[in-house]
Structure 1
Amino acid sequence: MVRIEKCSFCGGPIWPGHGTVYVRNDCKVFRFCKSKCRKFWMKKKNPRKFSWTKAFRAAMGKDLVVDNVYDFETRCNRPVKYDRDLVATTLRTMRLIDEIRMKREEAHWERRMQTAAAIETRAKLFDIAQNIDLYTKVPEVQRDAVQRAEAEIEAHKQQMKEDSYKLNMKFKEMKNAQ
């Protein structure tokens, strides 16, 4: 069985027979998935500054990386002696870990989308505040519609705060359950 390596620059997967290997004078091995990664690494570029790398996504909080679930994915250089019970428990545990990982990633994605929605509503409110003179020149019916829309936005913001609080409480409960 051949293992899938990780790129030393972008952190992406390198499948068997793909990518390049660079070995430094001190015998440190660097693997690159594509020439773009190798060239940037040779130029001593920082992977956290490129938005397409895993390091950038981790640094900006876009990917869930600081989690105990990812600690299970460790490299084992020595083969383990085959044991039927061990294989069965390992497979069961792998399924369980996968389910936990999916739930946590989904919760992380929902938190990110909530903050994005809050930013979007704030931008809309700012736009309304900047162009309020356009709204004051419209007839009374449309002005009432604008006021209703602003009230809906306020209600939506309040609902987002409550949902965010509930989600954070659920996340804390999940963390404490471990």
Structure 2
Amino acid sequence: MRFIIDTSTWVSLVKYYKPFDNSSVIYDFFKQKIKDGEFIILSEVSNECSFVSRKIVIKELDFITNKKLITKTTELLPTKKFYNLLENQFCNQFQKRLLNETEIENLTNEFLKEADAKIILKAIEITKTLDNEITIVTEETTSNNDNKLFKKIPAICKELNIDCIGLPKLIEIFNKDISIMIKSTSAKQRT
């Protein structure tokens, strides 16, 4: 199983979990999972982390900008089928009716450059390979409360039948691994 992690999740990790990570267990756990290829950081997510929430993520998690750990997406291009899905299923039809063709085209081109689109495209690419188990981790919700043209990641994942979870569920999945790391760290500190 592999996990593509969204910017919102990295922000939540740094804000709500890292302050209690006195022994750097969470930090070490995420860094190791990325090195192992189990957790995926896309180049667009790394870039977003460089300017959201006063750069808190890159200040706390130096591996977020480590080029050796980042998955580049320059060759990841949408197919004709993806464009059709974007236009019909992934689009907020109410918002679309308020825009002219040029505005829709501009917003579509912008969306395709953003992390959300790249996350979805990468997940689709991975599901087509033999190693087809992929989950997207995001703190976004399905509700469309920002008046954007395109739906949020969880809503798109639902349409595509791709698993989508939040950070608490990810930590729950790996709770045993994290507990082992905590015990190991505690034992080292006692000696």
TM-score category (smaller protein): under 0.3
Bigger RCO of structures 1 and 2 (CA < 8 A, at least 6 apart): 2
TM-score by length of 2: 0.21
